[in-house]
Structure 1
Amino acid sequence: RQEMANLSSLTETIADSTVSQQRDSEAVAAAVHEMQVTSRNVSESANEAAVASQTANDELSNTNVILEQTVGSIRDLAGEIESASHVINTLDNDVSDIASVLDVIRGIAEQTNLLALNAAIEAARAGEQ
């Protein structure tokens, strides 16, 4: 009878251990499942970060191209402004030359008018005599 009691106790202990192991196995299985889900989420986040990084890199490259084009346009504009400045300086010199010629023409016109007036006066005098 003692052996039956021991055997019954041992069977009960084994049953309790089996139940405990089953609970532990279920807990481990749940933890493994959580790790899989977490790992999948981390992988998806890493992929999204890689895509975002590539997009940012592409945008940076596009911005760099636009900046290079802008710098080129500014250089071209600076050259055009310099050319326009030379043309304006040349035009200013030409206007000064034209003004000088006009001053000479005015002087000649004034002298011509004086000579004409003088000739008219002389003609009038000659007519009186």
Structure 2
Amino acid sequence: MKLLIDMNLSPRWAGFLANAGIEAAHWSTIGAANAVDEEIMTFARDNGYVVLTHDLDFGAILAATHGLKPSVVQIRSEDVSPEVIGKLVVDALRQTKIELNNGALLTVDTNRARLRILPLRQ
């Protein structure tokens, strides 16, 4: 599994994840800072990335399109720094690796992680 870190998260996440043995790239090293979410999603899908974000729009895109990929990991916390919630994110990534490789929406907050398999249905 490799992660594509959205612009709304610090580039520090890339180093933090690498130290945990998880391949990751921050969008700022790949594409334009003002890229729309659909462009990021398309790049992630076409290049085998899982999107890591603090933005609810990615989940909404998956729901609206009934998309199967890319998987999305949403961090739902007021403080999204890797020093605060990073261990919880890494633990959730490790526990759901198979599902994320197959297509899933993972939401991680300070109390729990919730996994939904793609495509999202009402």
TM-score range, shorter chain: under 0.3
Greater C-alpha radius of gyration? 1
Q: Which has the higher contact order (CA 8 A, sep 6+)?
A: 2
Scaled by the length of structure 2, what TM-score is found? 0.14
Q: TM-score, normalised by structure 1?
A: 0.13
